[in-house]
Structure 1
Amino acid sequence: MAFKYSGSICSDLDKIRVFIDEILDKLNSIIKDQDTMFDLKLILNELVINGVFHGNECNNNKCVRLYLEVIDNIVRIEVEDEGKGIDYDISSYNSAELKCCGRGLIIVNGLSDEFYVKKNKVIAVKRIN
């Protein structure tokens, strides 16, 4: 099983919904496990929307780039925005504080088998069941 996608979308939430749904439709044709598809939907939504809000600050002139690759039983998702980037330390997030900032990346980290933040690019790797 192999699939590759590379594209970008400007920071318009209405267009992003359609953008993600189209990618999920393509993935649905090759990934049959619905639990994995649910996780991928959450990961894609969190990362792309975080890029729009936190990276691009909802500036419609800035875009979010997505690279997605499925090889054998591995899905690799890379999302890059046009922001300054973040210095993200997962251990500094305290769930008892109920902060909104950082929670999406905690969710993505929990759903991913590997998770990396490199300035304004986030990479999530998920194994398919």
Structure 2
Amino acid sequence: MRAITYIINDPVNVSDIVTLILDYITLGNSVSEDTLFEIKVILNELIVNALQHGNKSNHNKHTYVTFKLIDDDYLYVSVMDEGSGFNYSKFSLVKDLDCTNSLYCDHGRGLVIVRQLCDKIKFNKCGNKVSIIKNLHLQQPKNI
């Protein structure tokens, strides 16, 4: 499958884009409800982070959401904004949702959740693009 990219600049469009991606994934694939829910959480967190934190809710800046299926078993998603990025190395130090460090009590929870739901997560050098890989755990069709 070739990669598909959507361009967003308004948070109102997030649920439409998430629905389009989920519809594409389930077209001809038997994906569990749990996996679909996890993908929905991942997409929402990454896209909203890019719009709000990366682009600072500036409707003149774009967020690029690219996805593709890899061997029909894995979902690849990248989300890139037009912001200056962030220091993702601090994020890599946070292992769970414990808020003992006040720096992460108001920000960063979404990325911790995303990391826990994905098989792989990677940031570009400046921190304005995140890419994930998620196993779809495809279910075998039931024989009747």
Give me the TM-score of the superposition, normalised by structure 2.
0.80
Paired AA for residue 105 in structure 1: L
Is 1:80–2:75 an aligned residue pair?
no
* Distance in 1 of aligned mates of 2:55 and 2:74: 29
Is 1:26–2:24 an aligned residue pair?
yes
Paired AA for residue 54 in structure 1: H
Q: Which runs of 5+ in 1 are unaligned?
A: none
* Distance in 2 of aligned mates of 1:121 and 1:31: 29
Structure 2 counterpart of 1:122: 130
1:4-83 pair list within 5 angstroms: 4-10=3-9, 12-29=10-27, 30-72=29-71, 73-83=73-83
Structure 2 counterpart of 1:95: 98
1:108-119 pair list within 5 angstroms: 108-118=114-124, 119=127
SS in 2 for 1:85: coil
* Distance in 2 of aligned mates of 1:115 and 1:42: 15
Count of aligned residue pairs for this structure pair = 127
Deviates more, 1:35-44 or 1:95-104: 95-104
Q: Which runs of 5+ in 2 are unaligned?
A: 138-144
Paired AA for residue 86 in structure 1: F
SS in 2 for 1:110: helix
Deviates more, 1:98-107 or 1:44-53: 98-107
Query: 1:109/1:34 Cα in 2 relative to 1: closer, same or farther (>3 Å)?
Result: same
Q: Rg bigger for which structure?
A: 2
Paired AA for residue 93 in structure 2: S
Q: CA deviation at 1:31?
A: 4.5
CA deviation map 1:70-114 (0-9, x unaligned): 122111110000000111132146622361211100000000010
Query: 1:31/1:8 Cα in 2 relative to 1: closer, same or farther (>3 Å)?
Result: farther
Structure 1 counterpart of 2:140: none
